[in-house]
Structure 1
């Protein structure tokens, strides 16, 4: 039963990252103006970060309590969980606040009209790379969590 729960939580976490990154965020930017879409996506990313902070320790506990896992596989799972959590926290605690500050300073004209546009675009690019890394780690976690 614990192995099934471990797989379910890994799939929930990875699936949430995939859904927000590749479905919800692009859809928001396709349907809304960039300011509204940025606000909506920011809320989704915040909730995703909180989900990551909840699921990482739960998964680590389930890995620790899994007698069927050998030491090598257990280490792999711990590294995958830690890697996903680090990606999420770097975006949530580091990049998102910096991007929000740039948006706030830009005012109603928007970030693209701001002299900070280059910085914002670079931060956004780093964020996208981290989410890509997190999605790959999530795929490996789902496969290894079984």
Structure 2
């Protein structure tokens, strides 16, 4: 039962990252103007961060309590879950607030017209790299949780 629940939660977590990062966010930017899409995606990413904050301890607890795992595999799964959580927290607590401040300072002209556009673009690129890393760690977590 613990192994099944461990796999289910890992799949929910990784699947959420994949769905928001590779389906919902690009879709929002495809059909909405940039400001609206940014607001919608920002809400989705905030909810994804909270989901990560909720699921990480549950996955870690299930890994720790799993009798079907040897010590090496248990450590590996814990490192994967902690890595996913670290990526999520880095974006949520570090990059998103910095990007929001730049967006706010830019005013109605928009970020692209702002002198801080380069900084915003760099932060956005870093967040994309972290979401890519989180999605890869999630794939490995799901595959190794079986």
Structure 1 CA distance for aligned equivalents of residues 116 and 57 of structure 2? 37
Q: Which residue of 1 aligns with 2:19?
A: 19
2:88 maps to 1:88? yes
Structure 2 CA distance for aligned equivalents of residues 137 and 63 of structure 1? 15
Structure 1 CA distance for aligned equivalents of residues 68 and 105 of structure 2? 53
Q: Which residue of 1 aligns with 2:64?
A: 64
Provide, for residues 112-146 of structure 1, a one-character-per-residue CA deviation record: whole Å limited to 9, x for no partner: 01001000000000000000000000000000111
Structure 2 CA distance for aligned equivalents of residues 134 and 109 of structure 1? 33
Provide, for residues 20-75 of structure 1, a one-character-per-residue CA deviation record: whole Å limited to 9, x for no partner: 00000000000100000000000000000000000000000001110110000000
The 5 Å alignment of 1:34-113 reads 34-113=34-113
Structure 1 CA distance for aligned equivalents of residues 98 and 72 of structure 2? 38
List gaps (5 residues or longer) in structure 1: none
List gaps (5 residues or longer) in structure 2: none
Q: Which residue of 1 aligns with 2:125?
A: 125
Q: Which residue of 2 aligns with 1:5?
A: 5
- Report how many aligned residue pairs link the two structures: 146
Structure 2 CA distance for aligned equivalents of residues 87 and 78 of structure 1? 14
| RMSD, aligned α-carbons | 0.4
TM-score by length of 1: 0.99
Three-state SS of the structure 2 residue aligned to 1:86 is helix
TM-score by length of 2: 0.99
